[in-house]
């Protein structure tokens, strides 16, 4: 079993970025924070659109999302994750009202992008950490901005990020025979739609339970082979 160096560095980058944001966030005026947050929301929207439109299997994308939403709602994933976030908030005695929202927003933003899946797979199969190191730099910068607004919940998101990417890295060794370029592309496309949904939450345009769509990511491989 390989040591997931890329994911460890990624988690550390989020922690360092969050600490910087927590330390100096109070120096930034609420007006500027709002403007920066809107920019993050817009950037997230553009990133999600770019990823989603790369799909070559629009019907597969739709089926994965519909079934994923049904599974997510049936399992109440969003409710469970929110409860877990509130539990951690109580244990850490945090008085930040945005703790849970910051934790979930940061985790989803860091973990459903194409760089997460491709980077973890590259490390798992080829022991190549280049993409995850690049992602670490981007996530570290983003953490500064998110933590200055959401608080310590963003820092705590480094833990589920490390767990999730480690599972992907180790899982890549098992699923390598099934991970063609086309399938990775479709997983990224599904992730793109989730990122679009997340951007709508960030921009406060629509409240979408993005966590309930997570099962869609894991339906791509079986449904791809079923449809082709």
R_g of the chain, CA atoms, integer Å: 17
Q: 174 — phi, psi (to 5°)?
A: -80, -40
Does the pLDDT value for residue 157 go beyond 90? yes
Task: Let me know: does 115 contact 188? Beta carbons within 8 Å.
Answer: no
Question: Any idea where the domains of the chain sit in the sequence?
Answer: 5-22+29-227
pTM score of the predicted model: 0.83
pLDDT digit string (tens) for 176-194? 777 788 888 888 889 889 8
Give the residue from 88, 81, 89, 130 showing the smallest Cα distance to 107: 81
Sorted by sequence, the CB contacts under 8 Å of residue 93 that are 6+ apart come out as: none
* Angle ∠(16,141,3) on CA atoms, nearest 5: 55
pLDDT digit string (tens) for 51-63? 899 888 899 999 9
3-state helix, strand, coil in the chain (%, to 5): 85, 0, 15
Does the pLDDT value for residue 2 go beyond 80? no
């Amino acid at each position: 079993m390989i040591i997931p160096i890329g994911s460890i560095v990624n988690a550390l980058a989020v922690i360092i970025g969050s600490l910087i944001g927590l330390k100096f966030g109070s120096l930034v005026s609420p007006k500027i924070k709002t403007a920066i947050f809107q920019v993050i929301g817009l950037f997230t929207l553009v990133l999600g659109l770019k990823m989603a439109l790369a799909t070559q299997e629009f019907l597969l994308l739709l089926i994965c999302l519909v079934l994923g939403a049904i599974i997510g709602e049936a399992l109440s994933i969003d409710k469970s994750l929110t409860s877990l976030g509130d539990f951690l908030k109580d244990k850490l005695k945090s008085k930040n009202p945005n703790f849970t929202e910051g934790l979930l927003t940061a985790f989803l933003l860091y973990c459903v992008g194409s760089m997460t899946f491709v980077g973890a797979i590259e490390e798992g199969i080829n022991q190549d950490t280049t993409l995850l190191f690049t992602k670490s730099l981007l996530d570290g910068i983003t953490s500064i901005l998110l933590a200055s607004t959401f608080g310590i919940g963003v820092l705590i998101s480094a833990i589920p990020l490390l767990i999730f990417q480690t599972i992907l890295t180790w899982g890549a060794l098992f699923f390598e025979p099934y991970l063609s370029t086309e399938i990775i592309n479709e997983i990224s496309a599904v992730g793109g739609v989730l990122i679009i949904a997340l951007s709508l939450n960030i921009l406060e345009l629509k409240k979408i339970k993005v966590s309930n769509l997570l099962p869609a990511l894991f339906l791509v491989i079986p449904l791809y082979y079923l449809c082709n």
